Amino acid sequence: MATLIRMPEIAANATSAVIKEWSKKEGDSIRVGETLAEIETDKALIEFDADQAGVLGKILALTGKDIEVGAPIAVLFAEGETNVDIAAVLAAAGVETASGTPATAAAAPAAPTVPAAVPTAPAEGRLFVSPLARRLAKDHGIDLQGVKGSGPHGRIVRRDVDALAASTAGKNANANAGAASKPAASPAADLSDAAYVEVAHSGMRRTIARRLSESKSTIPHFYLSAACKMDKLMALRAEINASSARKISINDFIVKAVAAALKVSPQMNVSWTDSALRQYAQADISVAVSTDGGLITPVVRAADSKSLSAISGEVADLAARARSGQLTPQEYQGGSFTISNLGMFGVQEFSAIINPPQAAILAVGATSQQAVVVDGAIAVASVMNVTLSVDHRAIDGAVAAQWLALFQRYIEHPLSTLI
């Protein structure tokens, strides 16, 4: 018999997701394990595979729309099943239309349809206004109460406000006829008429915006900075890369140094919860990777116990698959500390926003030649500026300062992290 396919909970605690693309079309036969659709979570594209065989009878969910976890996205027919009453399938599962009544149309496999609910007229006294129309009305001082809109189902849209504004301007012009004119400043350009293209927010972009807004507004950040001399590290890196098949990056050394410092200073390897401070047994380092859809932070698990070459290979693999949307949720969820490196873009220094529920993030700038004082004399050295952002609820200033000094020592004496 026909069954509903529902939006899965692809990522832990996810409340919604977006179908990026259907891999099958209505009428296609489905085998167990075949990909039905690509689903966009807040961090990656995940292939959603069928867990039972049948025929994709009806697609209920449009691509690009945010859909709640558990909501029906398609109807799967049994092989050979015909004359399926889609409305009955939906009603039996307790699925209702926006109007509050079960869908009523039946459909056969060849062209099954479920009619969209017809929006009801606005309730008495309630205004249905587009955001642009509401803003324009406010700018013109127009009261929209009692206005009947020309949009769908009486919705007030821009042309209604423009007509009212023109009418009001005409009345004011007649009322002020004969009045002496005065020089007026040129009005500012109406930005609402400027040419633009709207790009719909992806699920990832919406989640990034929500999480970072929550982080910045609810986590008491404080910041510590340090300048790390890089000459010994760069010399060691050049020596390693001269004889190694795998080329080690500066960022690989940074991941290793962060993990080593967290191992020595476990008070930094923590996260805040309302009931307790959670201290982690291993250093799981999240490495920020920029993708077309936004920032994603794949995790190098137990980086404190891995060699420099192992870290290098894992970071390269995770970054490549992050950019192609091939990470699994387990590969980007979790992590006890984040590194955000913008040095390759020439950024000298910056402050990063903490990635909750973590309690710290290290912002890494570019390595550049700078004047330093060595034994009382001015010399030129390669210097990398870093800024540590810390959650003051979980970590005290002295603890963070000690950790940063430890990290600086590991960077300036890189062999100590390899022994």
**pLDDT tens digit sequence for 346-379:** 999 999 999 999 999 999 999 999 998 888 999 9
Assigned token pair, 124 = 């008495």
**Span(s) in the chain for CATH 4.10.320.10:** 125-168
The pLDDT of residue 375 is: 87
Most confident residue range from 34-38, 75-79, 161-165, 260-264: 260-264
CB atoms within 10 A of CB 335: 22
What are the φ/ψ torsions at residue 349 (nearest 5 degrees)? Answer: -165, 155
CATH superfamily of 220-418: Chloramphenicol acetyltransferase-like domain (3.30.559.10)
- What is the Cα–Cα distance from 255 to 265, expressed in whole angstroms? 15
pLDDT > 90: what percent of the chain?
44
Distance set, CA 13 to CA 16, 125, 228, 274, 329 (Å): 9, 38, 39, 18, 11
**Span(s) in the chain for CATH 2.40.50.100:** 3-92
The lowest-confidence range among 80-89, 206-215, 255-264, 349-358 is 80-89
Mean pLDDT of 316-331: 90
The lowest-confidence range among 102-116, 161-175, 374-388 is 102-116
Tell which wins on pLDDT, 282 or 93: 282
Each as own residue / partner, the long-range contacts of residues 110-114 (CB below 8 Å, 24 or more positions apart, any chain) are: 110/27, 111/26, 112/26, 112/57, 112/58, 112/75, 112/84, 112/86, 113/58, 113/86, 114/58, 114/60, 114/86, 114/87, 114/90
- What is the Cα–Cα distance from 23 to 74, expressed in whole angstroms? 13
Beta strand 294-296 pairing with 299-300 = unpaired
- What is the Cα–Cα distance from 257 to 313, expressed in whole angstroms? 16
260-279 CB burial, b ≥16 within 10 A, e <16: bbbbebebbbbbbeeeeeee
The H-or-E segment that residue 286 falls in is strand 285-287
Is the pLDDT confidence value at 208 over 50? yes
Is the pLDDT confidence value at 182 over 50? no
| Domain 125-168 fold | Dihydrolipoamide Transferase (4.10.320)
- What is the Cα–Cα distance from 237 to 249, expressed in whole angstroms? 8
**Span(s) in the chain for CATH 3.30.559.10:** 220-418
Active site residues: 392
Average pLDDT, the chain: 83
Q: What residues pair up with 289 in beta bridges, in sequence order?
A: 296
3-92 classified as CATH 2.40.50.100: yes
Is the pLDDT confidence value at 339 over 90? yes
The pLDDT of residue 249 is: 96
Tell which wins on pLDDT, 243 or 111: 243
* Sign for the pseudo-dihedral over CA of 248, 252, 253, 254: positive
- Angle of CA points 373, 374, 380, to nearest 5°: 65
The lowest-confidence range among 37-41, 65-69, 190-194, 365-369 is 190-194
